[in-house]
C-alpha cells in the first residue's frame, strides 16, 4: 500500500510496536483494502477540511446517540458512541458507505463487525491503563511537552496539503491525531520505565544502549498490559445489536 509522505523527526517513535501506536490496525486494514480493491480513496488535499466536516455531519445524522458504555477501566468509561464514531469515520473516509461495499470489505478481510469493535476497544482499554499508570508514576506529559511533540510530528510533512491529505487518508482530523499521539507518547514513557525496571545493569548502559533497549521493549509493555487486564478492573460490554457498522442486507 502507498505510504504517507511523512518522515518523523524522532525516528525511534515510529519503531515502537506497543499498543498505543499513532495509526491503529483497523486504519491500515481499511486503507490496504481500499487501495487494492479500488473502493473509495482520499479526496483531493484542498478539499480535505470540507470532506472531513461533511463526513462528521453525515455520521451525526446517521444514528442516534446510544448513551451506552462500551467498557470501563477503573473509573474511566469508554462510550459506545465513540467506538461507533471511530469505525464509521474510517468506513466513510474509504468510501464504504454502501451495504455492498461494507459487506465486501468484511468478507475480504475475514472480519465481522465484532472484530472491528474489539480492535478499537482493546486499544482504548490499553490506552486507559497506560495513562493511569503514567499518572501514578509521575510520567505524564505537560502541555508544553505535548505541543512541542505535535509540532515536531507535523513538521515532518512537506506542506500543509501533505499534512491534510495524510489526516484524510487515515480518517482523522487534527484532534484525533493529537489523541493518538498523546497515547503513543505515554506508551513510550511507560515502556521505557518498565524496560529500565526489568533490565539488569541498566545504570551501566550508555544512552544509545538504553534507547535501543527501550525500542525493543514492546514485549515488556504488552506483558504488563496482559497482567493488568487479568487483575480485573476492566469490564467490556457486548456489542449492541443495532450498530450502524453491522452487516446489512
Q: Return the pLDDT at 93.
A: 80
Q: 3-class SS at 183?
A: helix
d(CA 32, CA 122) in angstroms, rounded, equals 21
CATH class of 13-43+50-236: mainly alpha
Phi-psi region of 95 (alpha: psi -120 to 50; beta: other; left: phi over 0): left
Give the model's pLDDT for residue 62: 55
3-state secondary structure of 71: strand
Residue spans of the domains in the chain: they are 13-43+50-236
Report pLDDT for 249.
57
- Specify the pLDDT at position 94: 83
193-229 pLDDT, tens per residue? 999 999 889 999 999 999 999 888 899 999 999 999 8
Task: Convert the pLDDT of each residue in 8-25 to its tens digit.
Answer: 344 334 333 333 333 344
pLDDT of residue 171: 73
Global pTM reads 0.74
Given a cut of 70, the residues of the chain with pLDDT beneath it are 1-64, 249
Instruction: Tell me what pLDDT residue 36 has.
Output: 42
Instruction: Give residues with Cβ within 8 angstroms of 243, minimum separation 6.
Output: 84, 113, 117
Distances (CA, A) of 154 to 54, 78, 148, 176: 24, 28, 10, 14
CA distances from 11 to 14, 15, 110, 124, 247 (A): 6, 7, 33, 25, 40
Place of cell 459506545: 80
Three-point CA angle 34, 66, 95, nearest 5°: 15
Kindly report the number of other CB atoms within 10 A of residue 103's CB atom: 14
Amino acid at each position: 500500500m502507498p505510504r504517507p509522505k511523512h518522515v518523523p523527526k524522532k525516528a525511534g517513535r515510529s519503531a515502537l510496536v506497543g499498543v498505543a501506536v499513532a495509526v491503529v490496525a483497523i486504519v491500515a486494514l481499511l486503507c490496504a483494502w481500499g487501495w487494492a480493491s479500488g473502493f473509495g480513496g482520499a479526496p483531493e488535499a484542498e478539499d480535505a477540511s470540507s470532506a472531513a466536516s461533511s463526513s462528521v455531519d453525515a455520521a451525526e445524522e446517521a444514528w442516534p446517540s446510544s448513551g451506552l458504555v462500551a467498557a470501563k477501566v477503573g473509573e474511566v468509561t469508554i462510550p459506545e458512541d465513540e467506538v461507533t464514531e471511530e469505525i464509521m469515520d474510517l468506513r466513510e473516509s474509504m468510501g464504504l458507505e454502501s451495504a455492498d461495499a461494507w459487506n465486501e470489505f468484511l468478507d475480504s478481510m475475514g472480519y465481522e463487525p465484532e472484530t472491528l469493535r474489539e480492535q478499537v476497544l482493546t486499544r482504548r482499554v490499553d490506552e486507559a491503563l497506560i495513562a493511569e499508570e503514567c499518572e501514578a508514576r509521575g510520567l505524564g506529559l505537560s502541555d508544553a511537552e505535548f505541543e512541542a511533540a505535535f509540532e515536531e510530528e507535523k513538521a515532518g510533512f512537506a506542506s500543509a496539503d501533505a499534512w491534510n491529505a495524510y489526516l484524510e487518508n487515515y480518517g482523522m482530523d487534527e484532534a484525533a491525531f493529537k489523541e493518538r499521539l498523546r497515547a503513543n507518547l505515554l506508551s513510550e514513557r511507560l515502556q521505557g520505565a518498565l524496560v529500565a525496571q526489568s533490565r539488569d545493569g541498566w545504570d551501566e548502559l550508555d544512552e544509545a544502549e538504553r534507547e535501543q533497549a527501550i525500542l525493543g521493549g514492546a514485549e515488556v509493555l504488552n506483558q504488563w498490559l496482559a497482567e493488568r487486564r487479568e487483575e480485573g478492573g476492566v469490564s467490556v460490554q457486548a456489542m449492541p445489536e443495532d450498530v450502524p457498522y453491522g452487516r446489512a442486507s
